[in-house]
Amino acid sequence: MRKLQLTCSIKVLLIFAGIILMQIFASAIYTLGYIFTKAISGASYTDAIGGLAGSTSHIMWISAISAILSMIWCLILYLKSNWRIKGMDYRKVFTFGNIMGIMGAGACGCISLTVFLSLIMNFMPQAFENYNQIMQNLEPSGGVITFIYVLIIGPASEEIIFRGAIFDRTRLAFGFFTGNIIQALLFGIYHMNLIQGIYAFLLGIVLGMVIYATGSIICSILTHIIFNSTTYIIQYIFGDDSVIMAVLFMILTVFSVIMLAFSLRYFINRCMDKYNMEKQYN
C-alpha cells in the first residue's frame, strides 16, 4: 500500500507540475504568435509588447489555450485508467436526487459563498485586493473569450484535471476521504491566490463528493458550470441597487443556504453509503 501511495504521489505531482508548465508554454506560444502577427501588420516590437501588457483579453486567451492543452492531456490519462467501471448507466447517474443535488451544490453553493466572502471582505479588505483584481478580469465585459472560458473551458478543464486525472489516482491509493482532500488542496494551490485558493479548496471538496457519489465526471463538470454561471446571473439580475432587489437577494440567500445544506447532506450520505459498500468488498 505504501508503495502504491508513493507511486501515486509522484504521478500526481508530475501531473500538477505538467499543468503549471502548460501555462508557461501557452503563454510563450500566444506571445510569439501575437508578436509575429503584429510584425506582419507593420507594428514594431515595442508596440506589440505594449499591446500585451495588462490586457484582459490576452490573459483569457492564454488561460484558454493552457486549459485546452491540459484538458486534452489529462483526459487521455483519465480515459486510460483500467480499474474504473466502464459502460456507465446514465439513467442511474441522472436521478432526480442527483440532479437536485447538482443544482443545489452549484447554484446555491455559489450564492452562499459569494455572500460569505462579501461579509469577510468587510473585515479583511486588504486580503481581497488580489482576489478582486482577478474577479474583474473574469467579468462579462472581458469579451466573448472570457465568457466562454469561465462558463465552459475552465470548468471542463479543471474537472478533468483535478476530479479526473488526479482524483482518479489519489482515491485509488489513499481512499476517498484523503484522496478528496489531496485533489482539493492542489485545486486551491492551482489558483495562486489566498482567497480564491480557500474557496477553490472548499469547492473542490464538494466537487469530489459529487463525482464520487454519482460515479460520473459529467456531474462534477455540470456542477462547476452551474457554479460559475450563477455568478454572472446574480450580477445580471441583482445589479440594481434598489431596496427591492436587496430584499429579494436576502431572501434568495436564505433559500440558497438551506438548499446547499440539503445538497451537501445528500452527497455526504451517498458518499458514506458508497464508501461503506466498497469497504465491505475490500
pLDDT tens for 19-54 read: 999 999 998 888 888 888 877 877 766 666 666 665
Residue 141 — pLDDT band, cuts 50, 70, 90?
low
Q: Across residues 148-155, what is the average pLDDT?
A: 92
Instruction: Please give the pLDDT value at position 124.
Output: 73
Q: Across residues 209-213, what is the average pLDDT?
A: 96
**Is the model's pLDDT at 264 over the cut of 80?**
yes
- Residue pair 83/173 in contact (Cβ under 8 Å)? The answer is no
Task: Provide the H-helix boundaries in the chain.
Answer: 2-40, 45-52, 56-79, 90-93, 96-103, 109-123, 129-137, 144-148, 154-158, 167-174, 176-190, 194-214, 217-237, 243-281
pTM as predicted: 0.90
Matching residue, cell 485546452: 68
Instruction: Please give the pLDDT value at position 51.
Output: 64
Residue 60 — pLDDT band, cuts 50, 70, 90?
confident
3-class SS letters over 79-109: HCCCCCCCCCCHHHHCCHHHHHHHHHHHHHH
Residue 177 — pLDDT band, cuts 50, 70, 90?
very high
Q: What mean pLDDT is reported for the chain?
A: 86
**Is the model's pLDDT at 127 over the cut of 80?**
no
Q: Which of 115, 97, 90 is nearest to 268 (CA)?
A: 97
Q: pLDDT tens across 75-110, in order?
A: 999 988 766 666 778 888 999 999 999 999 999 999
- Residue pair 157/22 in contact (Cβ under 8 Å)? The answer is no
Instruction: Please give the pLDDT value at position 118.
Output: 81
Q: Provide the grid cell at 275.
A: 464508501
Of residues 59 and 56, the one with the higher pLDDT is 59
Return the beta strands (E) in 100-215 as ranges: none
Q: Provide the grid cell at 40.
A: 506582419
- DSSP state, residue 53: T
Instruction: Please give the pLDDT value at position 45.
Output: 62
